[in-house]
Amino acid sequence: MPATPAPQAPSRSRWLALGVLATGMLMTILDGSIVTVAMPAIQSDLGFTPVGLSWVVNAYLIAFGSLLLLAGRLGDLIGRKRMFLAGTGVFTAASLLAGAATSPAVLIAARFLQGVGSATASAVSLGILVTLFSEPRERAKAIAVFSFTGAAGASIGQVLGGVLTDALTWNWIFFINLPIGVATLLVALSALPGDRGLGLKAGADAVGALLVTTGLMLGIYAVVRIEEYGAGSARTLGLGGLALALLAGFVVRQATARNPLMPLRIFRSRSVSGANLVQMLMVAALFSFQILVALYLQKVLGYGAAETGLAMLPAAAVIGAVSLGLSARLNARFGERNVLLTGLVLLVGVLGLLTRVPVNASYVTDLLPVMLLAAGFGLALPALTSLGMSGAKEEDAGLASGLFNTTQQIGMALGIAVLSTLAASRTESLTAAGRPAPEALTGGYHLAFAVGAGLLLAALAVAFTMLRRPEPRVSQTPTSTTAIPATTRAVSGSSRTSAPSVTETTGSR
């Protein structure tokens, strides 16, 4: 039976609901970046070993990345509002536990629970958003706000992490989530629309849930440990092979199950499939910008934690200006595909410039142009989000949202594993050849930036080929399974509708 649609909320209530969803996203992204700045203080205070310290990040990534798809589908089945509230509650409680941790084991367990809560809440956020905003122009603005929140959260986290760690203690990078989480829960109770969901019988595939969650967990675990064990080690290859076998079994199960957890029809939309692949490549490449540039500023140029965050603020500023002020209008005027291609070209320029950054760089001449070109992210992400959520029926909105977030996390894990490993390997070889430490580090970062630029070129090729032709329109009916009209675009003074007339959240046909 189709999901019971939530009644259309008044305009003011819908924008308040968007504020709740954006705050939840900000809290999730903020938590991911704020921790990286405080890692040295955490290691010193709790006595982490170098290998053990990586689990402060890995425990969160494994839980978050492996549960997004399942959480998204559960939102369709039992109600997306319930999932958002439950996830925010778990994340807030886990933040309290993390801030009060007095041993490595407690902190790692708390970080895993934070990942569970983040996955549960964020997996359904886009699904709620696209059902709230069915009018094309409003939805484009809402997606731009939501996308900017995620993009800005990383830069804000680096600044806030440095300030809190220096002024107070590392514990406060977790305690800061408490008032935000409680306020989000209180407002969400009344602001978010209620929905009953399809019911568990519509997709209660326990075997499929076990296969996909275990497969993703093992796969992400194998990827994040590549730097320690090596890509060609028996451990990495064995775990990776087992993860692929489990995921292949999940796909077979979904093709034959009576009530699949993930109906494979979601991949029939070329926009959805292409957008998710582009996102995986783009996020993997931009790890080198978000993380390696910060490391370059600190380890090569000698910036402090707060100074590093401030140095990267211009990037957040231009991303915000473009995504909030221009992206919705550009998508309507030129179409999401063309805006996405333009954004990717700018991002290729970002990493291209970074391959030539010198050891004794001047911020104004060598780094500020890079930060300004990051405006490409403000173009690419809203357009990509619209494409990734297009082609879906309302009852699959949570699934498409979970899928889009899952490919993002897989891309992040791949970026961390591949680019950081390449940078470390190149640095070691240059050090062995007698190069000074700053020069060796810079050489390692140059290699990672070059590979990242290659990944962006691959994303550009995928976007150009897979998204090149419009898909057939889906007729609109008054039922809850109705496809939501696509974004209206002005073309040569007239308007037309973009390819799939569907909910920009799910990608199923």
What does the pLDDT read at residue 453?
92
Indicate the pTM of the whole model. 0.70
Residue of 420 and 451 predicted with greater confidence: 451
Please, where are the H alpha helices in 9-135?
11-46, 50-53, 55-78, 80-99, 104-122, 125-132
468 — pLDDT class (breaks 50, 70, 90): low
What does the pLDDT read at residue 226?
73
Token couple for 508 = 């199923």
- Decide if pLDDT at 474 tops 50: no
472 — pLDDT class (breaks 50, 70, 90): very low
Asked if residue 158 lies in contact with residue 312, where contact means CB atoms within 8 angstroms, the answer is: yes
- Decide if pLDDT at 75 tops 70: yes
The arithmetic mean of pLDDT across residues 429-452, rounded, is 90
What is the distance between the alpha carbons of residues 33 and 157, in angstroms, rounded to a whole number? Answer: 5
Q: Radius of gyration over alpha carbons of the chain, in Å?
A: 22
Residue of 478 and 176 predicted with greater confidence: 176
The arithmetic mean of pLDDT across residues 33-61, rounded, is 75
The arithmetic mean of pLDDT across residues 64-83, rounded, is 80
The arithmetic mean of pLDDT across residues 228-235, rounded, is 76
The arithmetic mean of pLDDT across residues 192-217, rounded, is 74
97 — pLDDT class (breaks 50, 70, 90): very high
What does the pLDDT read at residue 81?
86
- Decide if pLDDT at 92 tops 90: yes
Asked if residue 75 lies in contact with residue 402, where contact means CB atoms within 8 angstroms, the answer is: yes
What does the pLDDT read at residue 109?
92
What does the pLDDT read at residue 480?
32
What does the pLDDT read at residue 202?
58
Total Cβ atoms within 10 A of residue 137? 14
Instruction: Fill in the amino acid letter for 52.
Output: G
Residue of 87 and 201 predicted with greater confidence: 87
Question: Helix or strand or coil: residue 491?
Answer: strand
483 — pLDDT class (breaks 50, 70, 90): very low
Instruction: Fill in the amino acid letter for 317.
Output: A
The arithmetic mean of pLDDT across residues 378-385, rounded, is 84
The arithmetic mean of pLDDT across residues 400-421, rounded, is 77
357's CB contacts (< 8 A; 6+ apart) are 296, 366, 367, 370, 442, 445, 446, 449
- Decide if pLDDT at 30 tops 80: no
The arithmetic mean of pLDDT across residues 206-235, rounded, is 78
- Decide if pLDDT at 488 tops 50: no
What does the pLDDT read at residue 209?
77
Nearest to 9 by CA among 193, 209, 200, 196: 193
Asked if residue 454 lies in contact with residue 299, where contact means CB atoms within 8 angstroms, the answer is: no
What does the pLDDT read at residue 475?
37
- Decide if pLDDT at 20 tops 60: yes
Range among 209-213, 374-378, 398-402 with highest mean pLDDT value:
374-378
Q: Which long-range contacts (CB under 8 A, 24 or more apart) does 248-256 make?
A: 249/211, 249/215, 250/208, 250/211, 250/212, 250/215, 253/205, 253/207, 253/208, 253/211, 254/205, 254/208
What does the pLDDT read at residue 405?
74
Give the mean pLDDT of the chain: 77
Residue found by looking up tokens 């499939």 in the block: 273
What is the distance between the alpha carbons of residues 333 and 339, in angstroms, rounded to a whole number? Answer: 9
- Decide if pLDDT at 270 tops 60: yes
What is the distance between the alpha carbons of residues 436 and 425, in angstroms, rounded to a whole number? Answer: 15
What does the pLDDT read at residue 245?
92
Domains in the chain, CATH or no CATH each: 11-204+259-497 (1.20.1250.20), 205-258 (no CATH)
Tens of pLDDT, residues 102-159? 888 899 899 989 989 988 888 788 778 877 877 767 777 777 777 777 666 666 666 6
Asked if residue 37 lies in contact with residue 162, where contact means CB atoms within 8 angstroms, the answer is: yes
Q: What are phi and psi of 2, to 5 degrees?
A: -70, 155
Asked if residue 314 lies in contact with residue 321, where contact means CB atoms within 8 angstroms, the answer is: no
* Residue 3: DSSP 8-state: -
- Decide if pLDDT at 346 tops 90: yes
Instruction: Fill in the amino acid letter for 62.
Output: I
What is the distance between the alpha carbons of residues 174 and 172, in angstroms, rounded to a whole number? Answer: 5
Q: What are phi and psi of 491, to 5 degrees?
A: -130, 120
Range among 138-142, 333-337, 363-367 with highest mean pLDDT value:
363-367
Total Cβ atoms within 10 A of residue 353? 16
What is the distance between the alpha carbons of residues 380 and 463, in angstroms, rounded to a whole number? Answer: 11
The arithmetic mean of pLDDT across residues 487-499, rounded, is 32
What does the pLDDT read at residue 89?
93
Cα torsion 369, 375, 376, 379 to 10°: value is: -170
Residue of 358 and 12 predicted with greater confidence: 358
79's CB contacts (< 8 A; 6+ apart) are 194, 195, 196, 197
